[in-house]
Amino acid sequence: MKRTKQINHASFRKHWRAYRMAPVALAVGAVFVLAGCEKSDENVSLYMNSDDCARANPSLSEQCTTAYNAAQQEAVKTAPKYASRADCVAEFGEEQCTQVPAQAGMAAESQHSGSMWMPLMAGYMMGRMMVGGYSQQPLFTSLAANSPARGQFVDARGRNYGASTSGRSMTVPKTALAPKPATTQTITRGGFGETVAKQNALRSSSATPHRTMGG
């Protein structure tokens, strides 16, 4: 039997092909892995204070306190601000508001020179980041009868995280733990409630069975 002289020997070099393709496959795989990490959600726990956190996580007592203190500082910077106590109380209820110094550029908006009002921090969320360490965000709640935030944990942007119950764990979008811009303007009475109501409506329309809350 004659043997053809037009044999494509390269097609039989399986080991060479695997060797040359491997880096490409690895690179493509790495891109998908990175993309998946960037889009992944974060697991967080919600607490009213650092004591609740420490009781639930005895080995993380120090991290609980550090995260709580950081969340309080973040609250002063990013919480909704009101020019008068009455406006703040109307949204969050009695004994739920505190006076804070006006931030740069905001003093002129306050009825009281150099100060304004913001809701007290009602709790905080704490999550462990993939890159190491912990991240946190302050949470607020309302006691006002007609507020859509009544009895709920909401963040400074009006996103609702459900009942203001300490010790719950949930999955949230990574943006929930991302640093928020400082509040630079006061809002009028009812403005924050409207924001919460819009976020609730958006959450309801985009909710899926696999997400603890909408992004």
pLDDT in tens, 7-30: 555 444 544 344 444 444 434 333
pLDDT level of residue 115 (50, 70, 90 thresholds) = confident
Question: Please, what is the angle between helix 191-206 and helix 85-92, to 10°?
Answer: 30
Position 203 scores a pLDDT of 76
Position 160 scores a pLDDT of 95
CB 186 within 8 A of CB 110: yes
Position 14 scores a pLDDT of 46
Between CA 60 and CA 168 the distance in angstroms is 16
Q: 169 pLDDT exceeds 70?
A: yes
Q: 69 pLDDT exceeds 90?
A: yes
Among 14-18, 51-55, 60-64, 136-140, which stretch is predicted with the lowest mean pLDDT? 14-18
* Mean pLDDT value across the chain: 80
Q: Is 25 helix (H, G, I), strand (E, B) or coil?
A: helix
Per-residue pLDDT, averaged over 153-174, amounts to 94
pLDDT one-digit tens code per residue, 181-215: 999 889 999 899 999 999 888 877 776 554 444 43
Residue 173 Ramachandran class (φ > 0 left, ψ -120 to 50 alpha, else beta): beta
CB 119 within 8 A of CB 94: no
Per-residue pLDDT, averaged over 142-170, amounts to 95
Neighbours of 187 (CB within 10 A): 18
- Pairing type for strands 42-47 and 115-119 reads unpaired
Q: Which residue has the higher pLDDT, 179 or 85?
A: 85
**Residue labelled with tokens 């996103």:** 159
Provide the edge-to-edge strand list for the sheet that holds 42-47.
Answer: 134-139, 123-128, 42-47, 168-172
Q: Which residues contact 89 (CB under 8 A, 6 or more apart)?
A: 96, 97, 144
CB 125 within 8 A of CB 136: yes
Which residue, 150, 178, 174, is CA-closest to 164?
A: 150
Between CA 33 and CA 25 the distance in angstroms is 12
CB 105 within 8 A of CB 117: no
Per-residue pLDDT, averaged over 92-110, amounts to 79
Position 80 scores a pLDDT of 95
Q: Provide the whole-model pTM.
A: 0.74
Position 6 scores a pLDDT of 55
Between CA 102 and CA 115 the distance in angstroms is 4
Position 214 scores a pLDDT of 40
Token pair recorded at residue 185: 């303007």
Position 111 scores a pLDDT of 55
